């Protein structure tokens, strides 16, 4: 089942939020551990170390007063000893409450026992001073040694905890960094998959819409996307189906109407032609002028109807072509001669440049002449009086295939085509938005028909133009391989 866009967004955001929460919980746990360690160092280890140093300081003071008392036997030095006994006992009791390891507890107990023996031995040493050296070495130095060892153990414990804290902090930082990087990568991956799951089908829909804009109404099939996009595709397919039906009805209607108009129009053309030939009797000058106008308009309408019928056949793939080995240069010369009179009337310099030799090609002469007539008529229509139109042909290879072809170009000195309209000139019923073409009438099918004919021959057609500097229409006509064609001499200029 395809997820909806809403579900995808919720899942993606939930995954990102879950990753953030996971990193946050882990970081919070590590910080709590460090906080507890820091609290232990401040409330237990540091306090215990300070108390142990105070214990050492008290006992050193006791030993100094004891030495003075033994030397001078002065009671002044014995009074501080009584006070220090209580201070030492209080301090040792605090240390006993703070120590944790068995070794430290044993040391505290040994220090207590030695200190309890220290003062009775001191009282005996007053009368027997000779035994004091042994007492001092056993009790005094033993107590000092154990107090210093107790301090060293505490300092070592603090250093070990600090080292463990540093290592733990570094490990936690690395883990959080990896989790963060992994979360960022996972978030980007989820975002990419989510965006791709939306952008790819939407781009495809845009492409299908562009195809519809070009008149191609094929429906989109096998489309995997979110449910909302799938609904959009279904609606688009229904629209394309309705547009295809409307386009078919339009084409059928246009072809039917054009066909129905062709018969009476033919009668009007033939009738006016017979009247102009004075078959029914002589005409006055005004009658001949009126009939000439009617005949000219009939011919123009007949050409429009013929173009509409031809285009309808091309769209329905019913246009028939009579392919023969023909001479492209001969077709070009005939087309130039057909419009030579129009060019002279407008004072336009119409020239053709045909290189020697051009190979024979396999094409429909009548349809290819229709392409040239459309291009030349457009060029003469939009070229101002006194301008120039060139027709040229050259032998080259089709881009990307290497197939030999004849490229025919029709260039003019007219106003050119605006850049925004270049991609539209071959569309059906297109009329230029340029000011130069506003007063020129036409069906807008000439270039569309030319494109269909050229593409039916396996060629391509394009236009190059700079607005205000004329336009050049070029089309290619594939030729038979060299072994299947022969060459004929032709003049370069006509």
User: What's residue 52's pLDDT?
Assistant: 84
User: What's residue 432's pLDDT?
Assistant: 61
CB-based contact 382:344 (threshold 8 Å) = no
Nearest to 247 by CA among 218, 270, 217: 217
User: Where a domain ends, among 289, 315, 341?
Assistant: 315
The number of beta carbons lying within 10 Å of the beta carbon of residue 80 is: 17
Give the domain CATH number at 301: 1.10.287.130
State the sign of the Cα–Cα–Cα–Cα dihedral 472, 333, 355, 398: positive
Query: Which residue range(s) make up the domain with 84?
Result: 5-190
Whether residues 383 and 427 share a domain: the answer is: yes
**Domain-located, residue 202:** no
Peptide bond between residue 357 and the one before it cis (omega within 30 degrees of 0): yes
**Domain-located, residue 430:** yes
User: Which residue intervals of 354-418 are DSSP H helices?
Assistant: 365-382
Q: Which helix (H) or strand (E) holds 387?
A: none
Nearest to 408 by CA among 423, 390, 428, 383: 390
Give the pLDDT of the chain (494 residues) as one tens digit per residue.
Answer: 566 767 777 777 787 788 778 878 887 887 787 777 777 777 778 888 888 888 888 888 877 777 776 766 666 666 666 677 778 888 888 888 888 888 888 888 888 888 787 766 666 665 555 555 666 667 778 888 888 888 888 888 888 878 887 887 888 788 878 877 877 887 778 777 777 777 777 787 787 777 777 667 666 665 666 677 777 777 878 887 777 777 777 666 666 666 676 677 778 877 888 877 777 778 788 887 887 888 777 777 777 777 676 667 676 666 778 888 888 889 999 999 988 888 888 899 988 888 767 888 888 898 899 899 889 988 888 888 889 999 999 888 877 677 888 889 999 988 888 887 777 788 776 666 554 444 555 567 788 888 888 988 888 898 988 877 889 999 998 886 434 433 333 333 33
User: What's residue 433's pLDDT?
Assistant: 55
**Domain-located, residue 196:** no
User: What's residue 255's pLDDT?
Assistant: 63
**Domain-located, residue 195:** no
Whether residues 475 and 371 share a domain: the answer is: yes
User: What's residue 494's pLDDT?
Assistant: 37
Give the domain CATH number at 388: 3.30.565.10
Whether residues 355 and 281 share a domain: the answer is: no
User: What's residue 473's pLDDT?
Assistant: 92
Q: Please state the domain count of the chain.
A: 3
């Amino acid at each position: 089942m395809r997820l909806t866009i809403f579900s995808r967004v919720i899942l993606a955001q939930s995954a990102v939020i879950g990753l953030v929460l996971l990193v946050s919980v882990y970081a919070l746990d590590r910080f709590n551990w460090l906080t507890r360690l820091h609290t232990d160092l401040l409330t237990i280890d540091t306090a215990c170390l300070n108390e142990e140093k105070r214990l050492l300081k008290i006992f050193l003071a006791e030993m100094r007063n004891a030495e003075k008392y033994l030397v001078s036997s002065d009671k002044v030095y014995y009074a501080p000893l009584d006070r220090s006994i209580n201070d030492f006992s209080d301090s040792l009791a605090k240390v006993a409450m703070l120590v944790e390891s068995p070794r430290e507890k044993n040391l505290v107990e040994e220090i207590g026992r030695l200190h309890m023996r220290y003062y009775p031995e001191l009282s005996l040493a007053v009368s027997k001073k000779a035994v004091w050296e042994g007492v001092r070495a056993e009790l005094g130095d033993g107590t000092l040694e154990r107090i210093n060892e107790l301090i060293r153990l505490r300092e070592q414990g603090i250093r070990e905890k600090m080292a463990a804290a540093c290592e733990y902090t570094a490990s936690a930082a690395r883990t959080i960094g990896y989790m963060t990087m992994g979360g960022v990568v996972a978030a980007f991956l989820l975002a990419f998959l989510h965006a791709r799951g939306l952008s790819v089908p939407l781009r495809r829909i845009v492409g299908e819409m562009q195809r519809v804009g070009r008149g191609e109404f094929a429906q989109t099939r096998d489309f995997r996307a979110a449910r909302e996009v799938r609904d959009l595709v279904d609606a688009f397919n229904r629209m394309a189906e309705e547009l295809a039906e409307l386009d078919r009805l339009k084409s059928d209607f246009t072809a039917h109407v054009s066909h129905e108009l062709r018969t009476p129009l033919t009668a009007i053309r033939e009738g006016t032609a017979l009247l102009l030939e004075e078959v029914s009797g002589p005409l006055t000058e005004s009658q001949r002028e009126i009939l000439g106008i009617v005949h000219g308009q009939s011919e123009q309408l007949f050409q429009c109807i013929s173009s509409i019928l031809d285009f309808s056949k091309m769209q329905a793939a019913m246009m028939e072509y009579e392919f023969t080995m023909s001479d492209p240069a001969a077709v070009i010369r005939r087309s130039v001669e057909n419009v030579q009179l129009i060019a002279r009337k407008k004072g336009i310099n119409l020239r053709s440049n045909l290189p020697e030799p051009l190979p024979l090609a396999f094409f429909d002469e009548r349809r290819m002449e229709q392409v040239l007539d459309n291009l030349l008529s457009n060029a003469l229509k939009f070229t101002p009086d006194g301008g120039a139109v060139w027709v040229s042909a050259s032998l080259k290879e089709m881009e990307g295939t290497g197939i030999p072809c004849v490229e025919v170009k029709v260039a003019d000195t007219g106003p050119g085509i605006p850049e925004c309209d270049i991609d539209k000139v071959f569309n059906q019923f297109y009329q230029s938005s340029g000011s130069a073409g506003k007063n020129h009438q036409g069906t807008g099918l000439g270039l569309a028909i030319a494109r269909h004919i050229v593409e039916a021959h396996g060629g391509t057609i394009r236009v190059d133009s700079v607005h205000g500097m004329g336009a050049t229409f070029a089309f290619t006509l594939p030729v038979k391989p060299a072994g299947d064609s022969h060459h004929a001499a032709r003049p370069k200029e006509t």
